[in-house]
Structure 1
């Protein structure tokens, strides 16, 4: 076992037992000195107790504070969902697009071969859902093949602005698996004014029409809205509107505007402040989809093997959580 995997192994085993129970993890002899240092530091910071360390194994008792991933819901654990940016070009040029997509943006397509390999490796890595986004994926002539590569393996969500459901693109939509695919369409307001101000004239009307087409074709539809943080708590009329067009409450996704990409304002999101969602682009592996065009959240340019990329994100996330837990202990608030 390589040193970088020791803490991941401990977290997995400690998380499966009760306080006071013990677990034992194997250690490679050639790596024992560094593994010992990491395990002792991890136990000190997380409140677990190192009972025995040999050149071959370490035995740890779970403490009251448990492991650094405690408290996260199952769908928030890094690696549960895998995001893929199919492309970066778009038919819109939204003024707050987090990855600067537009008609002028380079496509930077992920491509069918990589999507197939990612979908296959995702199953082996324990991923439970695939999410395809862009750019605008419906600009791709082989989108139905990309989607099929994903839905053949796992339940999949496809993000779109919903404006291109006509002609050949509508035929591609009709070839997609309704039982395994959810469409997520962007709508930012209950009336055209708020939406069109950021996304372009008549974009609200066409997005709402796209929702109706998707429903008529038998797809489950989610709606995602991007709003300034101060508007997040004033959503009654917006929810009522979404109810009226057949969007279930659990399928109404409201997110705050992030200060990323084209946005001139919004909440600041950093690696330290974000629970990671493993995100793949043609350029590499990123911490989170909201920053998949920003160097500060590039984890590695090596996409494969996917399991290694997921392990690296988990490792870094655990380190952040351990440091946060340690800081809370050193500087208690009460």
Structure 2
């Protein structure tokens, strides 16, 4: 039974791990390509036999048509999260010896995104990767039927084989829990744009942690990711000492800290603030920002792994577990006994 299971589930990455080589080396052996040492070839062939690995016929048929280029559709913004994902995906693609052809698109318009995808398909890319910042675009991406693999970076409540994500929901719950455990009786939320998938998941995490703790609930306040919107919201909102604020990203948190200082509210003595992302500036603002760290380097690598698996072994692709976040405690909301 164990051998039967291995033959059904083994993929090219399993063979590579067992043989101690890269997946590219396994691919060269499978396609009888040169520049593989005899000892390495023997090790790969032994791993193939041990795992009873059989490559997908559809994937093998594509080998001669590949351009080793991936199309990347990015938002037309310079926000830290999407920019970091794009940068780290580029690093991972180059490490796998793939080129990236990137197009920026206004990602609140499904038609514009489809135009960007069509443009990349004309370049004969081997796969399409999208960094999605709009829920309607995400729904359209999940429904796409193309002749090449499609992978998206976006958070959703339900995993999907085409999606790779960081766990925004649990990261948000950890932020809210920390503020409550630090003695702040109410935790307000300055959320991101209402249609942004990551913002939606952080909002969901905030709501459910508040409900779980039976803490006082307040309406969420939506910003646009910028420091200016965080400043405006914190300037206009009635706040009282003893409250905490969970802010959906660090840029808005910087605006919040500035507004609170101008209002004479001390952080963290009067108000606690927790952000999200852990941008490089987070430890240098005053007070230094407690925040939720996202591992964008790991996300870029997993995006590339998902692409390679969909290209090499489309029949073995399954849902990916969201990457965990980590709460980084600093002075804006220190731990308290």
Query: Which protein has the bigger helix share?
Result: 2
- TM-score, structure 1 length as denominator? 0.31
- TM-score, structure 2 length as denominator? 0.30
